[in-house]
Structure 1
Amino acid sequence: MRNLSMMGMAAALAAAVALWHPNAAMAADDKAAERTVSVSATGTVTAEPDLAYITAGMATEADTAREALARNNAAMAKVIDGLKAAGIAARDIQTSTLAVEARYTQAKDGRPAAIAGYRARNQVRLTVRDVKRLGEVLDIAVSLGANQVGGINFDVADAERLKDEARKQAMANARRRAELYAAAAGVQLGAVLRIAENIEDLRPVAVAPRASFAAATPIEPGSRTLTVEVHVTYALR
């Protein structure tokens, strides 16, 4: 009888070990992990640009580097003062390029290239906070003597708020889609387990400048579209 009792205890212990074996626990976890649904959805917002960036500056030439720079300084001071007088704040005028470089003659008939003079360049990056005035600002810069005008870029000042709106749309679309799948499968949607996102950002729009500008230069900023894509995993119950 004692042997039978010992055998019964051993069998019970073996069953308990099997029940709590790590492999058994992992199998239970895997089974629970299978009760999920993963969906992807997007949210999109469109905005009109309310910021514009342009570069404007001067290139001057002279026989010496000092003279080229002095001429450039005087010319750029006139441009910058005129832009400020036109309503461009000092914080919206930032030097982007300042260089003095030699100009060379072409090598010819066996003679090496030689220094023919010097060129000074100074450019500023302008932030125009009223896009409707962009054409006017370009005209003012050119009329003040600017002979180098760089690319025009448009942007949106409150991009983060727009991203948040797109995120809300994307999450609402994701939940609607997940609920549809859950209902079709005869189960209920549970808690959110994981969220990941991809953003097609509101990058500035580049516009090729024209070589010269006439009065009331027409500028069309167009519109920008921002899309947020979310990947969401829900538990099912």
Structure 2
Amino acid sequence: MRGKTALLGIALMVLCAAVIGNVTAQTQEESKDKLIHVSGTGKVTTTPDQAVIVLAVETENADVSAAQQQNARQMDAVVNALKGAGIPAKDLKTTGYNIIPVTEQNEKSLVASKVKFYRVVNNLEVRLNDVSRAGEIIDLAVANGANRVDRFSFTLSDAKQQELRSQALTAAVKQARGDADATVAALGKTIVDVKEVNVGNNYVPMLYDNRYMGMEKATAAVPTPIEVGEIDVTATVSVTYVIA
């Protein structure tokens, strides 16, 4: 019995050695590849096709219910005016609602400060697919009760982002291959295959117009001018080529 066990153990050791030898041989064979690693960046410049405006209605009153009701009336008027101007309900979204008690400052007393009044702030995000209407929409909202513009930005729709990302990736690959060709040619070698490709994340910046950030008690005596400008879509790739 011991003899059979010993023979079985020897057989297992031989099998393991064969497997290890095979793995080592493959690793050594793979390591013989001569490689070059390069990266490329592609950029496509375009005009934004979407605007995002975050408006706010801010009201104040010593009676919190009165402040809420006034705020609700003004925001209803803003929303109805925007819908009447052709903005779909799906492009209007409440992004914040706050009731803030504003207290008197009493440095001499340790007792909790008395509430002077309540401030109610309701934020509404408006997404425009026609950027040329941005100024018009701001003026319309202000005329109907909005008294703050908390954020204004230009960006790209999902469909345009995907379209331009493909173009940026093509440009990035061309740049990477051009750098690889030039380097390999200088070494007297040639590219024979692609071993690995890694695609970086897409980056689409948002252009902000700071003229409207934190605007309080906004007025619109004249039409609000909005300049769209341009925006860049970039993409990166890293490529490993096999050379000979």
Structure 2: tracts of 5 or more residues without a match: 1-17
Q: State the partner residue of 1:13.
A: none
Task: Pick which of 175-184 and 189-198 moved more.
Answer: 175-184
1:127 match: secondary structure: strand
1:135 match: secondary structure: helix
Say if 2:205 and 2:232, in contact at 8 Å, map to a contact too. Answer: no
Say if 1:151 and 1:209, in contact at 8 Å, map to a contact too. Answer: no
In the alignment, the residues of structure 1 paired with residue 129 and residue 81 of structure 2 have an alpha-carbon distance, to the nearest angstrom, of 17
Say if 2:39 and 2:176, in contact at 8 Å, map to a contact too. Answer: yes
Q: State the partner residue of 1:57.
A: 56
Q: Does 1:219 align with 2:226?
A: yes
Shift of 1:27: 4.2
Say if 2:55 and 2:151, in contact at 8 Å, map to a contact too. Answer: no
Shift of 1:22: 6.9
Q: Which amino acid aligns with 1:29?
A: E
Q: State the partner residue of 1:171.
A: 173
Q: Does 1:84 align with 2:83?
A: yes
1:133 match: secondary structure: helix
Summarize deviations over 1:112-136 as a string: whole Å, max 9, x none. Answer: 5201222222110000111111001
Q: State the partner residue of 2:101.
A: 102
Structure 1: tracts of 5 or more residues without a match: 1-16
In the alignment, the residues of structure 1 paired with residue 141 and residue 81 of structure 2 have an alpha-carbon distance, to the nearest angstrom, of 8
In the alignment, the residues of structure 2 paired with residue 96 and residue 25 of structure 1 have an alpha-carbon distance, to the nearest angstrom, of 58
Q: State the partner residue of 1:131.
A: 131
Say if 1:200 and 1:228, in contact at 8 Å, map to a contact too. Answer: yes
In the alignment, the residues of structure 1 paired with residue 26 and residue 95 of structure 2 have an alpha-carbon distance, to the nearest angstrom, of 63
2:94 match: secondary structure: strand
Shift of 1:98: 1.2
Shift of 1:97: 1.2
Shift of 1:111: 7.3
Task: Pick which of 148-157 and 115-124 moved more.
Answer: 115-124
CA 1:67–1:25: 2 relative to 1, 3 Å: closer
1:202 match: secondary structure: coil
CA 1:115–1:229: 2 relative to 1, 3 Å: same
Shift of 1:23: 6.0
Over aligned residues, Cα RMSD in angstroms? 2.3
Shift of 1:141: 0.7
Q: State the partner residue of 2:6.
A: none
Shift of 1:101: 2.4
Q: State the partner residue of 1:71.
A: 70
Q: State the partner residue of 2:149.
A: 149
Q: State the partner residue of 1:121.
A: 121
CA 1:102–1:86: 2 relative to 1, 3 Å: same
In the alignment, the residues of structure 1 paired with residue 102 and residue 24 of structure 2 have an alpha-carbon distance, to the nearest angstrom, of 78
The structure whose Rg is larger is 1
Matched positions, count? 217
Q: State the partner residue of 1:187.
A: 189
TM-score normalized by structure 2?
0.80
In the alignment, the residues of structure 2 paired with residue 42 and residue 109 of structure 1 have an alpha-carbon distance, to the nearest angstrom, of 62
TM-score normalized by structure 1?
0.82
Q: State the partner residue of 1:160.
A: 162
